Amino acid sequence: MDMVTLTINGKQVQVEKGTTIKKAAENIGIEIPGLCDDNDLQPFGACRLCVVEDNRGNLVASCHTPVREGMNIKTHSKKVIDARRLILELLLSSHNADCFECDKSLHCKLQKYAYELNINNIRFDGEKRDFHVNAVGPIIQDPNKCILCGKCVRMCHEVQTIGAIDFADRGFDAYISAPYEKSLLDSDCIFCGQCVRVCPTGALVENPEIDKVYEALNNPKKHVVVQTAPATRIALGEEFGLKPGDIVTGKMVAALKQLGFDKVFDTQFSADLTIMEEGTELVKRLEKGENLPLFTSCCPSWILAVEKFYPELIPNISTARSPQQMFGSVAKHYYTKKAGIAPEDLFVVSIMPCISKKFERTRPEFDDDVDAVLTTRELSRMIKEAGIDFTKLEEEKYDSPLGESTGAATIFAATGGVMEAALRTAYSLLTGEELKGDAVEFTAVRGLEGIKESAIEINGKTVKIAVANGIGNAKKLIEKIKNGEAKYEFVEVMACPGGCACGGGQPYTDDPDFRQKRIEGVYENDKNSPKRKSHENEEVKKMYEEYYEKPYSEKAHHELHTHYASRRIEY
């Protein structure tokens, strides 16, 4: 390994050749500001806020300038600070600074650096941008708050490889848009929300549904229930000063009860239900050898990607609804009968790590089974608005009969988790035997690698499996299948790198290791679960006995499964 030695602020540093100055500075605890850089993206050097002074007195962009032997770097000389202030003032002079009305005001990098660089007076009177705000669909686009850093475009092109948005026009008139100025709803966008995650300002935010939920909570005629997705419990705590991966399930339940929800249920219940249906479907397809590989159907962004780019794969998609939509159907059909509530009086709220779930609930196939979707971030705002001291809450338990879950449901939050959960149950269905101890852990499908492949021996039959981590890797995997380079029986795809734990609706973070930390929390939760296989869920078994009879029954197929159709965009 070639190493380079340089000096940063008088301190000698040794790093690998090819490392950027910015990364080298981070190694010794120096944060250099930047609005266009991200660990997931190729260095771009657009904002220039990351400039540093080299030993020749030149200002260079540290985010994409590689270190050189003998470099002498100053990260906060007067020349550097003056340049950063000038850059920031120029950006602010034309920025639509309606900060009190901005959903990202507490997480705005522009505000953060303005404070840290002591911007008390803007010397320039720039022309304010005056673009139309697109608030239709799950994502709100406000070009007036855009600083043209390009992070959203690069995330969409480089990582997700969707290419739904790009730069349009030039100079001061430049803006970010879908082709032909279409709305995101009419574009190739799959609403994964990764553009929202990396946007440093309020130019991209989720379309909030908080007011809709408050209206229901204050309607005495409505019985309001809430479900919480597996990934929310290992990230919500970040909004209250806890670390990524800290498990806050009991406190989250307590907070939701204080907010006034009539019942607090667990999406992990319906994740176990999903495995019962999807696992049975896999076994039936393996027996018949039809429509293989079977692709998982839990991720709504993945489903949108298939409908828009690969409609020929629709027969290979599991017909099982996602856990969110299964819960909505179970709530509106089974729970209302059990609780003696008219379905029209039930209001179902989801707490999700995902912006695409907002789109999913509006699909006509699902008959408004879910009435509102809040991201993890939106829930944190409601908790803060209510004045609830989250860290001091006593832990509470989910309500019954839709509150029990297993460790298999927990790992839905991580890339590879749905695959592993399905295999735990499919093994039992195919062999009639139970996996015991650590044998339930299919570690081959875990981790943050782009594509994970393995073969599992079940009852003398080899089942070839694959997991795609992120939609960009899914497209690579599909090409391998189409070209005959690989053959599988079962494939999992999660659109967001890292899976739902790192979804577009999770808390904003600058922690470079946030994915790994959150995923570690997921597997810790699974490890500590008394039951780790979906078919061990007693409440799910009871529901089958009382209502659905058995997995994949006619009634189950009607209420727990769905169909998809091509949404290919023609420009």
* Enzyme catalytic residues: 278, 281, 298, 318, 357, 360, 365, 500
Look up tokens 């003398």; give the residue: 460
Q: How far is CA 89 from CA 33, 46, 83, 106, 118, in A?
A: 14, 16, 10, 20, 11
Question: Could you tell me whether strands 346-352 and 223-228 are parallel, antiparallel, or unpaired per DSSP bridges?
Answer: parallel
Instruction: Report which residue type is found at 265.
Output: F
Q: HEC profile for 426-467? A: HHHHHHCCCCCHHHHCCHHHCCCCCEEEEEEEECCEEEEEEE
d(CA 253, CA 257): 6
Q: Which two tokens stand for residue 492?
A: 């999992």
Query: Whose CA is closest to 385, among 201, 214, 251, 250?
Result: 214
Q: How far apart are the first and last CA of the chain?
A: 48
What is the CB-side half-sphere exposure of residue 123 using CA atoms within 13 A?
Answer: 5
With contact defined as beta carbons under 8 Å apart, do 490 and 468 qualify? no
Query: Whose CA is closest to 463, among 428, 426, 494?
Result: 426
d(CA 20, CA 279): 47
**What DSSP string runs through 374-436?**
EEHHHHHHHHHHTT--GGGPPP----SSS----HHHHGGGSTTHHHHHHHHHHHHHHHS----
Partners of residue 544 on adjacent β-strands: none
Q: Could you count the other beta carbons within 10 Å of the beta carbon of residue 520?
A: 16
Q: CB burial class (10 A; 0-12, 13-18, 19+) of residue 122? A: middle
CA 278 to chain centre: 22
Query: Whose CA is closest to 466, among 416, 501, 427, 425?
Result: 416
Partners of residue 462 on adjacent β-strands: 457
Angle at 409 between CA 282 and CA 313, to 5 degrees: 35
Question: Among the residues of 185-330, which ranges form H helices?
Answer: 194-198, 210-217, 249-259, 267-288, 300-309, 323-330
With contact defined as beta carbons under 8 Å apart, do 143 and 129 qualify? yes
With contact defined as beta carbons under 8 Å apart, do 87 and 139 qualify? no
